[in-house]
Structure 1
């Protein structure tokens, strides 16, 4: 209960106070957290030390800080500095040649169908040989240069954070029940230099290693482990969907990515890509009814699980393996109920239904 509520306030007053606190947490008041521009650039010395950090085990960094690559909602100051209360020591914009942005981590149907994830870049099966009679025209390889064309690689921000803030990040990102920690090479991107607000940047950025979070999918074939072919093993091992990448993220979630990319001045071509992404939009009344019924059935359990992860996560911010499996199993059961009951009755809760493009445009423009 809010400390400003009277002792004899009724249940409705307590509920309103809790709702207000939840809204404040999810959408913190602007000005209640520092702007991203107040976070200094990461020093070249710290980036050079990242290779030594990466050889250590999780939670055993050689340095006193952690370099964390953010690419989803944590790009946004509203989420990272506001709702999660992280206070990074420094930051640097980066490109990640080995990764691409995906939206294949299942969320909650009809509300947040999916969240951002990363996948590894695929090499072309047949390399295209250059024409020896035509001189090559090399496009700008530096994303900070004018005329750079986005090549599909991931762009993001590497924050330098304390071990305590890293544990908070792990807890708020599922505590190991969805995302897993990986180490990837990153290339610093030169910022838009404005004098005297921003310091000079090295002329030749060198790759360095940073930690990030990735939700991997279990391969359908080619694995000799017989356990991985059993339904119960798939049920408790990560959030699984039969068609990864089918779902669309919500407009709210995409706005966090778009706002964060703008706040950090990521390359214009990457910002244009984020702006081109189409959100999931409900266009039929039965989908709204489905959302109400679905959340009424599953929201209490989701709230309970997310609350328990904050208490049961260990000193590294991760859940015990059995509990992480239970959380994954709950999400998979939730989606099984959606596939079997809710989608046939109430309509698509992960992607805007085909043929509704005109309705989507009208809804986006605020007309009926």
Structure 2
């Protein structure tokens, strides 16, 4: 069984000057699989990157974003490892593949979760060898900005490279359990597919990732709600966006009150979606 450990204090990953060059394996399973995002946008430059398999977890899109625009971002859901998914090896390339024999016990059993918004286990992702200070930067720029009370939290997981080596890496996970799964936007979904192709993730996993159905506001009501949500959400979220960008410019940790305010705005917008917009205009996730 894959061993994982939730970091008790995200601040423990904040670097001291003497540890800036300490290296660690960071597991990117979402947009950070792509070098265009990790290096191009976040300015993190791995010394080495390789595809890996993480047993006991699957990719979902339960990290809430903005309804109708970016409904769900990637996070991990721990699953029962006693499943019908089996890792096999191709005789020629030695690349682990995931074979499914019928319906998997890994799938959550809630009736409001559907296979088109969760990828299934085991997880395939990209392990990036980066410095501790680069990991700090990733944490500071992801949802929650490293706040221990909400947003992404740091966990340690054991994984296997495609050539059979075992490594221990760190990654980020949203600790909040969601009963209703969300879908990614077409934009976000494409970034994941591009990243998976870039680092040669197993074909079977790419097929499962491709089977995810991105959210699109197709009905007239949904298109109307989409722009209404932006008109309401942008003024509310703009102060936090500006303060977060300022913190990054000055290379300081995003203040806790900024992260807390962002979380409050997100919950407000999703409550507006769940109880007002969705019943009237149609679902935005």
Asked if these proteins are the same fold (TM beyond 0.5), I'd say yes
Alignment of 1:95 with 2:38, yes or no, is: no
In structure 2, distance between residues paired with 1:142 and 1:302: 48
CA deviation after TM superposition for structure 1 residue 121, in Å = 2.0
Pick one of 253, 257, 267 that aligns with 1:332.
267
Aligned partners of 2:97 and 2:205 also within 8 Å: no
- Deviation of the 1:290 alpha carbon: 1.1
RCO higher in 1 or 2 (8 Å CA, sep ≥ 6)?
A: 2
Mapping of 1:169-318 within 5 angstroms?
169-174=138-143, 175-177=145-147, 178-190=151-163, 205-217=164-176, 243-245=179-181, 247-312=182-247
- Indicate the SS of the match to 1:140: strand
Q: How much does 1:266 deviate? A: 0.7
For the pair 1:121 / 2:79, whether they are aligned, the reply is yes
* Alpha-carbon offset, residue 260 of structure 1: 0.6
Displacement, 1:321?
4.5
Q: Say whether residues 1:161 and 2:161 are aligned partners.
A: no
Give the distance between the partners of 2:199 and 2:127, measured in 1 at CA.
Answer: 11
Residue by residue, what CA displacement relative to the aligned partner does 1:256-315 show, whole Å, maximum 9, x if unpaired? 1111100101111111111111111222112111111110111133233133224457x9
* Structure 1 portions without partners, runs of 5+: 1-55, 129-137, 191-204, 219-240, 351-368
Q: List per-residue Cα deviations over 1:200-252 (Å, max 9, x = no partner).
A: xxxxx33221110000126xxxxxxxxxxxxxxxxxxxxxx5x331x211111
Q: CA deviation at 1:153?
A: 0.6
Residue equivalent to 1:140: 88
CA gap of 1:298–1:67, structure 2 versus 1, over 3 A, is same
Q: Could you tell me whether the CA contact under 8 Å between 2:96 and 2:202 is conserved in 1?
A: no
User: Counterparts of 1:149 and 1:158 in 2: how far apart (Å)?
Assistant: 18
1:165 to partner: Cα distance: 2.4
Corresponding position of 2:33:
75
CA deviation after TM superposition for structure 1 residue 147, in Å = 8.2
Relative to structure 1, is the Cα distance of residues 311 and 167 closer, same or farther in structure 2, using a 3 angstrom cutoff? farther
Give the gaps of 5 or more residues in structure 2: 1-10, 101-120
Cα deviation, 1:71-124, whole Å, max 9, x if unaligned, reads: 001112221222222211211211111321111111111101101100112144
User: Residues of 2 paired with 1:149 and 1:337: CA distance?
Assistant: 40
- Larger Rg belongs to: 1
Partner of 2:13: 58
1:149 corresponds to:
98
Find the aligned partners of 2:125 and 2:232 in 1 and give their Cα distance: 36
* Length-normalised TM-score, structure 2: 0.76
Instruction: String of CA shifts for 1:32-89, please: whole Å, max 9, x gaps.
Output: xxxxxxxxxxxxxxxxxxxxxxxx9423669622321100011122212222222112
**Secondary structure of the equivalent of 2:39?**
helix
Alpha carbons 2:98, 2:122 under 8 Å: kept? no
> Secondary structure of 2:88's match?
coil
In the superposition, relative to structure 1, how do residues 156 and 123 fare at CA in structure 2: closer, same or farther (>3 Å)?
A: closer
